[in-house]
Amino acid sequence: MTTARLTINLHSIARNWRALDAMTAAETAAVVKADAYGLGVEPVADALVEAGVRKFFVAVAEEGAAVREAVGPGPMIGVFSGHMEGDAELLRKHGLVPMLNSAQQLKRHLEALPAHPFGIQLDTGMNRLGMEPADWAELRDLVLGQHPVLIMSHLACADEPDHPMNAKQLRAFKQMTDGVHVPRSLSATGGILLGRDYHFDLCRPGIGLYGGLPYEEARPVVTVDLPVIQIRDVAVGETVGYGNSWTARRPSKIATVAAGYADGLHRAIGGGIDAFSAGQPCPVVGRISMDLITVDVTDLKEMPTSLRILNGHQTVDDLAEAAGTIGYEILTSLGSRYSRGYVE
Ligand SMILES: *Cc1c(COP(=O)(O)O)cnc(C)c1O
């Protein structure tokens, strides 16, 4: 092995989708925005179709075109950013369904693609995307006359089950949509875990499919293996890496592996994580460089040729915690330098 290797278990993604699907009586879509959270939208969408997914969501129309390529003509592909200026041709050509976010988008859509399916996104308090209650009150009759295929909103605090915002948004969503005969969707991964009041007709998990919190029971999906470039002896009192941030307290063996913050292993991770050799943890020491990480392998019986930094024991959320961020950001920043392998 000469380059860092990212292995994505498609079987685990399919299992996670099935498990989330089984938690609700609703239909379960799959969110594959940002290149399937950095894991490669074509193989991931392919595997999900195989598992039974019939509805996908992406952030922008360009991503939807790539998903259409991967999944063929059947599945619905929804676009969260709606119908943006210049999108009409992409939406039409690839049969994408925009989730319209404003009066302006509604007008644009009905003018450019009058018979083309669309959904509506409502803002229930997150103030990020979607029509506000006042817009909706005004446009509702017009919209319903055009037969939207979905009405959706998004929860701001679903990863905190006790947060009062959840119930507040649920009330707002019901107020805006009760009695409307259109399929409704409120929940992503976190909302699925909040229970059936939040499920409505369609759920839209993303992170849970890819093995991340808040879905604690998720099967891990990614492993990352880093080739060892060099192993050296370091005497007591010698330091390792930029800023001399680590000092040997015993005669040590330090392995230098080929990956760093340019590969999404954020510099902020600092200490507190391990790299594994055949399951045995070895502490990462010194600062993470752009392309290099140093690991204390003194306690290994045999010197390794590679070390694993992401696995079922040390997950994207463990790395995220060490870096002061969330698993979503670790996944989506893994980047293009890895050689990728897929377990089918
Ligand atoms: C990203 C996103 C999702 C998926 O969220 P997860 O927390 O990854 O499950 C669902 N809906 C919308 C609107 C999103 O932006």
Q: Is 217 inside a domain boundary? A: no
Structure tokens that stand for 119 in this block: 């959904």
Q: What is the DSSP letter of 227?
A: E
Identified catalytic residue from 37, 55, 107, 242:
242
pLDDT digit string, tens, across residues 106-126 = 999 999 999 999 999 999 999
Contacts with 301 (C-beta within 8 Å, 6 or more apart), sequence order: none
The verdict on whether residue 290 carries a ligand-binding annotation is yes
Q: How do strand 280-285 and strand 293-296 relate by DSSP bridges? A: antiparallel
Q: Is 3 inside a domain boundary? A: no
| CATH code at position 162 | 3.20.20.10
**pLDDT given for residue 270 in this prediction:** 76
For residues 140 and 257, membership in a common domain is answered with: no
Average pLDDT over residues 143-147: 96
Structure tokens that stand for 70 in this block: 């991967």
Looking at 210, 239, 261, the residue that finishes a domain is 210
Structure tokens that stand for 184 in this block: 């409704």
Residues 312, 63: Cα–Cα separation, whole Å: 29
Q: What angle do CA 172, 177, 182 make, to 5 degrees?
A: 150
Q: Is 105 inside a domain boundary? A: yes
- Determine whether 55 is an active site residue: no
Residues 290, 296: Cα–Cα separation, whole Å: 19
pLDDT digit string, tens, across residues 274-315 = 999 999 999 999 999 999 999 999 999 999 999 999 999 999
Measured CA distances, 144 to 117, 148, 177 (Å): 12, 6, 11
Q: Over the chain, what is the mean pLDDT?
A: 97
For residues 155 and 239, membership in a common domain is answered with: no
Total count of domains within the chain: 2
Ligand 1: centre distance to CA 134 (Å): 24
For residues 93 and 180, membership in a common domain is answered with: yes
What one-character-per-residue DSSP string does 288-337 give? --SS-EEEE-TT-SS--SEEEEESSSS-HHHHHHHHTS-HHHHHHTS-SS
Average pLDDT over residues 51-66: 98
CA atoms within 13 A on the CB side of 166: 19
**pLDDT given for residue 271 in this prediction:** 77
Which atom from ligand 1 is nearest to the alpha carbon of 212?
8
Ligand 1 surroundings by CB, under 6 angstroms? 31, 33, 80, 154, 188-190, 204-208
Looking at 183, 210, 237, the residue that finishes a domain is 210
For residues 233 and 132, membership in a common domain is answered with: no
For residues 251 and 274, membership in a common domain is answered with: yes
Backbone torsions φ then ψ of 5, nearest 5 degrees: -120, 130
Q: Is 72 inside a domain boundary? A: yes
Residues 227, 15: Cα–Cα separation, whole Å: 29
Cα 110 to the chain's mean position, in Å? 32
Of 233, 231, 211, 218, nearest in space to 307 by CA: 231
Ligand 1: centre distance to CA 101 (Å): 16
pLDDT digit string, tens, across residues 73-85 = 999 999 999 999 9
Tell whether the model's pLDDT for residue 335 goes beyond 90: no
Ligand 1: centre distance to CA 300 (Å): 42
Residues 169, 186: Cα–Cα separation, whole Å: 9
Mutation test residue for ligand 1: of 154, 157, 326, the one with most atoms within 8 Å of CB = 154
For residues 248 and 187, membership in a common domain is answered with: no
For residues 160 and 262, membership in a common domain is answered with: no
The verdict on whether residue 152 carries a ligand-binding annotation is no
Which atom from ligand 1 is nearest to the alpha carbon of 158?
7
What distance, in Å, lies between the first and last C-alpha atoms of the chain? 21
pLDDT digit string, tens, across residues 189-247 = 999 999 999 999 999 999 999 999 999 999 999 999 999 999 999 999 999 999 999 99
For residues 337 and 243, membership in a common domain is answered with: yes
Residues 87, 241: Cα–Cα separation, whole Å: 48
Contacts with 113 (C-beta within 8 Å, 6 or more apart), sequence order: 83, 88, 91, 92
- The percentage of the chain sitting over the pLDDT mark of 90, rounded to a whole number, equals 97
Measured CA distances, 29 to 24, 66, 101, 184, 259 (Å): 12, 17, 20, 12, 34
Backbone torsions φ then ψ of 226, nearest 5 degrees: -115, 125
Q: Is 191 inside a domain boundary? A: yes
For residues 244 and 205, membership in a common domain is answered with: no
For residues 304 and 200, membership in a common domain is answered with: no
Tell whether the model's pLDDT for residue 1 goes beyond 80: no
Of 205, 167, 207, 209, nearest in space to 24 by CA: 205
- pTM for the complete prediction? 0.96
Residue numbers of the domain that contains 256: 222-343
- Determine whether 301 is an active site residue: no
Average pLDDT over residues 29-36: 98
Which atom from ligand 1 is nearest to the alpha carbon of 33?
1
Ligand 1: centre distance to CA 328 (Å): 10
For residues 17 and 74, membership in a common domain is answered with: yes
